[in-house]
Amino acid sequence: MWCVKRTSLLLVLVLLLPVQAWAGFLAHGSTIEPERMKYEYYAFEADYALIGGMRAYGYGTYIPDSAYRRIYDERHDRFHGFGAAGNKTLTVDESLRRDVERVLGKTMRLDVGGYEERMLCYASSRPGDDTVVLFTLAHCPYDCSRVSEIQVRARKREVRVLKKCASVPGVSRDIATESGLRLGMTAKEVKAILGVPQHVQKGLQGTMWFYAASVGVYMSHDEAVRRGFPGIEHVTIPGTCAAPVPGFDKYIVLWLRQGRVSAWRVWLDWSL
């Protein structure tokens, strides 16, 4: 009976959420289940690459269906505008380190501390352009190939590792997500895309707006291979019809100064 109810619930949840929010998963045979706890607690790892970024942030919230639809829209994950001609796209949780370096050139991998991640940092070499982009590499120190986060910042002086960042023409203030997140947008424009923030907090680099949600992923073999997790198997626990399910938290954080976006990040954190 438990299995029947769970399957029915899963089908309802998938139908409730629009296809574009899950296209990358559903196209490869996986299914998604939002985690339905009344209160979710998120601890944001400190932004070690930033000046004064040795803090972690957390908050509790209930995630309604409308928030899932907004946060998990995969258009937030696709960052357009990279490259000297501004015509290249890099995508959170799909692009690999080699893709980043193919578009922006080689750079050193920075061990900035915290959560076993490594970063690639690129600063704009264009006159008058102060943009910096940080790419977090997942599964370090073992794999370090997949990009789990992309962060765009309008102020070089906020980045404490700036001297180690590659200076390239392929980064500019024109970088934006397919959903419309970009530097300089107003608070009203942010709310039109993401809704009212779940949590607001003052930070050293500006007022921070937080959005987050968690899901479980019933991952197909094709999807597991595509995302670099070929060893994942959903083996049923003896005596039950339940199998351990991997999943991830998705975070979108924006920094606002004088009512306009001065930086933002999109991060998918897998628990396998």
- Nearest Cα neighbor of 270 from 250, 254, 253 is 250
- Among the listed residues 262, 79, 77, the one whose alpha carbon sits nearest the alpha carbon of residue 183: 262
How do the pLDDT tens digits run along the chain, 272 residues long? 233 323 323 333 333 445 555 566 666 666 666 665 544 555 566 688 888 876 777 777 777 777 888 888 889 999 999 999 999 999 998 899 999 999 999 999 998 866 567 899 999 999 999 999 999 998 777 778 889 899 999 999 999 999 999 999 999 999 999 999 999 999 999 999 999 998 898 888 999 999 987 766 666 667 677 666 656 655 555 665 555 556 667 889 999 999 999 999 999 876 65
Region of residue 259 (left: phi > 0; alpha: psi -120 to 50; beta: else) = left
Residue ranges covered by each domain of the chain: 2-74+188-252, 78-184+257-271
pLDDT of residue 5: 28
d(CA 72, CA 9): 19
Residue 134, class by beta-carbon neighbours within 10 Å (0-12 exposed, 13-18 middle, 19+ buried)? buried
**For 83, what's the count of Cα atoms within 13 Å in the CB-facing half-sphere?**
12
What CA dihedral angle connects 129, 266, 26 and 230, to 10 degrees?
Answer: 100
The dihedrals phi and psi of 81, each to the nearest 5 degrees, come to 105, 10
**pTM for this one?**
0.82
Q: How far apart are CA 12 and CA 8, in angstroms?
A: 6
Tokens of 57: 């942030």
Amino acid at 70: R
Buried b (16+ CB within 10 A) or exposed e, 55-68: eebebebebeeebb
- Asked if residues 185 and 260 have their Cβ atoms less than 8 Å apart, the reply is yes
Strands (E), the chain: 31-34, 40-44, 57-61, 78-82, 88-91, 118-124, 132-137, 147-153, 166-168, 176-177, 199-203, 206-218, 247-257, 260-271
CB 182 within 8 A of CB 254: no
